[in-house]
Amino acid sequence: MSDWRSELNGMMGARACVTRAEQENAAFEHFLDTVAKPALEEVAEELVRNHGRDAQVRRAPASVSLQVRYGDEEEITFRVLKHYVQSGILPHADVRLNRAAHYLKYESMFKPDPQTYPISDVTGEEIIRCFLKYYGMVMCGGNRPE
């Protein structure tokens, strides 16, 4: 039975042997909890308090979503998900819009070139701006955002 103590001691001394994938996934989960979720909660609170919408933020194991409803109609579902690039994991938006009784789906990165920035460079304000770009399509009936 003393072998388990040796194994435990070995594990405690080997904290640095976390794989790159585990590090990237942990960084993404941290991003969801500290950047994406608070940003979407801020938007949801504003929509509920000042604009008569039902807005709910949900945290899933690898995503955060904001669903906005007005009465019985879903206006938009905006999700922040993983996007794999050569340099690692970056967040991207997966958007479902209700336009004239049809649902349209879009995907968007939060920065112009997804290959040249770390996840730590994506801000809550960029997430909010992206949400507003697509929510504007629901409210104004505009065309696809640039």
Whether residue 40 is contained in a domain is answered as: yes
114 neighbors 108 (Cβ within 8 angstroms)? no
The tokens of 36 are what? Answer: 């994406």
Whether residue 1 is contained in a domain is answered as: no
Q: Which domain holds residue 128?
A: 20-140
SS3 123: coil
| Number of C-beta neighbours around residue 74 at 10 A | 15
Whether residue 2 is contained in a domain is answered as: no
pLDDT at residue number 17:
64
Distance CA 108, CA 93 (A): 5
Whether residue 75 is contained in a domain is answered as: yes
Q: How many CA atoms lie within 13 A of 71 on its CB side?
A: 1
Whether residue 12 is contained in a domain is answered as: no
Whether residue 13 is contained in a domain is answered as: no
> Maximum Cα–Cα distance for the chain, whole Å?
70
pLDDT at residue number 146:
43
The sign of the CA dihedral 37, 38, 43, 49 is positive
Whether residue 8 is contained in a domain is answered as: no
Total tally of structural domains belonging to the chain: 1
Q: Per-block average pLDDT, block size 10, for the chain (146 residues)?
A: 73 67 90 97 97 97 96 94 87 90 89 80 95 91 48
Whether residue 124 is contained in a domain is answered as: yes
Which DSSP string corresponds to 33-84? IIIIHHHHHHHHHHHHHHH--EEEEEEETTEEEEEEEETTEEEEEEEEEEEE
The tokens of 68 are what? Answer: 């906005």
Distance CA 137, CA 133 (A): 7
